[in-house]
Amino acid sequence: MQLIFRVQKAKEYGRPASTRGELVSTNRGESTRGRSPIEIILKKGKGNDKLVSPDTDQILKTLDKLLKKNKIELESLKSIKLEIDKWAGLTSTRIVSAIGKALSLNL
């Protein structure tokens, strides 16, 4: 079985710019930063199962939910793959990379 983390393009939401001490010239005070949703895909035999974590705050909960749903232990994974979009958020990319490295130590 293979576990894939797919970090998608950052979406334009998050903490309002006004709370970060930045001046933003938007009508609604929107954030200039975004968060990257992360698809966690479990490739098994003939089928795939996936869940989407809206951002890195929920990634470990989402991973746990996916593994429990499929009754899979981390030890039974053969490989971990990262797929990172060119426009993914830097923080999301780093967090997913760190999680991937930590999980691959157990393979």
Confidence of residue 105 (pLDDT cuts 50, 70, 90): confident
Q: What is the mean pLDDT of residues 21-34?
A: 49
Q: What per-residue confidence (pLDDT) applies to 16?
A: 55
The domain that contains 6 carries what CATH number? 3.30.420
In single-letter form, the type of residue at position 90 comes to L
Q: Which domain holds residue 73?
A: 2-104
Asked whether the predicted pLDDT for residue 94 surpasses 80, the reply is yes
Q: What per-residue confidence (pLDDT) applies to 11?
A: 75
Q: What per-residue confidence (pLDDT) applies to 40?
A: 96
Confidence of residue 27 (pLDDT cuts 50, 70, 90): very low
Please provide the distance, in angstroms rounded to a whole number, between the alpha carbons at the two ends of the chain.
11
Closest CA to 8 of 34, 33, 42, 39: 39
Q: What per-residue confidence (pLDDT) applies to 35?
A: 80
Q: What is the mean pLDDT of residues 36-50?
A: 92
* Cβ contact 62:51 at 8 Å: yes
Q: What per-residue confidence (pLDDT) applies to 33?
A: 57
Q: Return d(Cα 40, Cα 95) in angstroms, integer.
A: 14
Q: What per-residue confidence (pLDDT) applies to 14?
A: 52
* Count of the separate structural domains present in the chain: 1
